[in-house]
Amino acid sequence: MIKSGNTVPPATAANPAAVLIAAARTLSDQLAALSFAAPVSHVYNPLDYARSPHELYLSRFASTRKRIVFLGMNPGPFGMVQTGVPFGEIDAVRNWMGIAAPVAKPAIENPKRPIEGFACLRSEVSGRRLWGLFSQRFPRAEDFFAEHFVANYCPLAFFDQGRNLTPDKLPASETAPLEAACDAHLRTLVSALQPEWLIGVGGFAEARATEALKGMNIRIGRVLHPSPASPAANRGWAEAAEKQLRALGIWH
C-alpha cells in the first residue's frame, strides 16, 4: 500500500473532507482483499497508488456540504486511473482544479495500460466532456465545488489485458462483496456531504445509488453518460446533460 504524506485532520461532522479521506482509506483496504477471476487480468486501485492527488481533491473540494453530488461508475484508463480524481481528465485536474501530485505504480502494472500519472498524454473523453461542461459554466473551480461534488461509485478499474471492463460485466459472486463495500462508502459520502440531490452519471450509477441510499433523505436523478461509446453522447453530450439538469430543476 502507498502511504501518503498527507496528514488527516480529525474526522468530524463539521469536517466532511476528513471523513471522506478516512472512508476512502477504509474502502481501499477492504477492496484490496477482494480477488477477481478471468477474464480480469489486472485490477487498478487509484485510492492506493494515486492516494496523494485523490486526497488533495478531497481536502480541497469536499470540505463543505454540497447541494448536488454527481456519481460516476468507476475510473477510466486515462482519467482517474492516472490522476486519482473522478473523471480525472489531466488538463482539468491540473489546470482548472490546480491539483498535481506524484502518482506511484500499482503492484502489478498492465503493460497495455501503463500508469504515467500527470505525464500521461492520452485524453479521457468522458472526463473531458464532464469537466468541460462544468468549467464552461463555472470558470473558477471553487465556484463549481461550492455546491457540487463529483465521486465514483467504485474506485477500481478492471482490465482484460488492453480492454476496459466495467463493474456491471463482472459475475455476481464477485460483485456482491464489491457492491457491499462501495454501497457503505457511498452512504458515508452522502452522510458527510448531506446533498439534496445525487445525480447518477449514467444508468449504472443511478441504479446503485437508488439501492444503496434507500431510506436516506436524498433525491436521485440521472444524466446521460459522456462515454464515447454512447451514440447519444457523441451527438452533443453537454447540451443533453444540461437539458436534463434543467428538467430536474437543478440548474436554471
Radius of gyration of the chain (CA): 17
Instruction: Give every CB contact of residue 35 below 8 A, 6+ residues apart in sequence.
Output: none
Indicate the pTM of the whole model: 0.94
Q: Is pLDDT above 70 for 161?
A: yes
What is the reported pLDDT for 13? 53
Secondary structure of 93-157 in the HEC alphabet? Answer: HHHHCCCCCCCCCCCCCCCCCCCCHHHCCCCCHHHHHHHHHHHHHCCCHHHHHCCEEEEECCCCE
What does the alpha-carbon distance between residue 184 and residue 215 come to, in Å, rounded to a whole number?
13
pLDDT tens digits, 120-160: 999 999 999 999 999 999 999 999 999 999 999 999 999 99
What are the structural domains of the chain? Answer: 24-247 (3.40.470.10)
Lowest mean pLDDT among 7-11, 137-141, 148-152, 230-234: 7-11
Residue with cell 452512504: 187
What is the reported pLDDT for 7? 44
Q: Is pLDDT above 80 for 221?
A: yes
Q: Is pLDDT above 70 for 2?
A: no
What is the reported pLDDT for 3? 33
pLDDT tens digits, 17-66: 999 999 999 999 999 999 999 999 999 999 999 999 999 999 999 999 99
Strand stretches in the chain, DSSP E: 42-44, 68-72, 148-152, 157-160, 163-165, 197-201, 219-223
